[in-house]
A and B are shown apart, each in its own frame.
Chain A
């Protein structure tokens, strides 16, 4: 059975801390891994990773994929209270279907 597992389930840090969120997967016909940030409403897209070892960066956020070990990490440096959200990892799989399977998410709370 295909699955995406995220850890930790929740995390509380203080502003300025650096956090690392983990995502491991067992998915047949893997195509890409995506990270989303979900606050009160719908998820907003952060990164899409297709190749191993190539780090993607956007400001204080960065992510990398290891297709051999079947995992990805999302790093957030110098965290701010606005980073508080649920971070979702999803795997795009299959051929033409473009379906996503989501992990359960990591709830990040950044305290002032």
Chain B
């Protein structure tokens, strides 16, 4: 249980292109999903919290107009990197947590998307 699917796993595109990444919880519903970014040999940095049916909450320093998040259903969140540039190249990972009243469920991660902007 608690499987999170992320697609695509790898994107290579030209500068100026917008790229959409999907994150799905396959066997549970998630009102909240999380988007992280990971640079080589660095840890995961939280970019934003995706909330089903409402606006995402962005961490300090993350441009909301650059990284558009949509959480239209209880099993799907999307991250769109708009007008991507080489400095946006990174490993993007989503996570989701099974809902429970106590809050004892860990976050489970998708396999990540390696984005390379040429």
Which residues of A line the B interface, CB within 8 A?
A: 31-32, 34, 36, 41-45, 48, 50, 88, 90, 97-105
Contact = CB atoms under 8 A, between A and B. Distances in A.
Given A88-B44, A98-B107, 13 more contacts: A41-B111, A41-B112, A42-B93, A42-B109, A45-B107, A48-B106, A88-B43, A98-B32, A98-B97, A99-B34, A100-B44, A100-B107, A102-B44
B66 to A, nearest CB: 21
A48 B102 CA distance: 14
B103 interface: yes
A107 B49 CA distance: 27
B6 interface: yes
Contact of A101 (B9, B46, B93, B97): B46
Chain A binding surface, main DSSP class: strand
Interface in B30-70: 32, 34, 42-46, 49, 57
Contacts of A31: 103
B20 interface: no
Interface residues on B, range: 20 to 34
Contact of B43 (A45, A48, A104): A104
Given A31-B103, A98-B32, A42 B42 contact: no
Contacts of B49: 97, 99
Specify which of B9, B43, B95, B103 lies most central, judged by the most chain A CB atoms within 10 Å of its CB. Answer: B43
B107 A105 contact: no
Contacts of B44: 43, 88, 90, 100, 102
Contacts of A41: 9, 111-112
Contacts of B42: 104
Contacts of B109: 36, 42-44
Given A98-B32, A98-B97, A99-B49, A42 B104 contact: no
Contacts of A34: 106-107
19 contacts: A32-B104, A42-B6, A42-B112, A43-B44, A43-B93, A44-B109, A50-B104, A88-B43, A97-B49, A98-B97, A98-B107, A99-B34, A99-B46, A100-B34, A100-B46, A102-B43, A102-B45, A103-B43, A104-B43
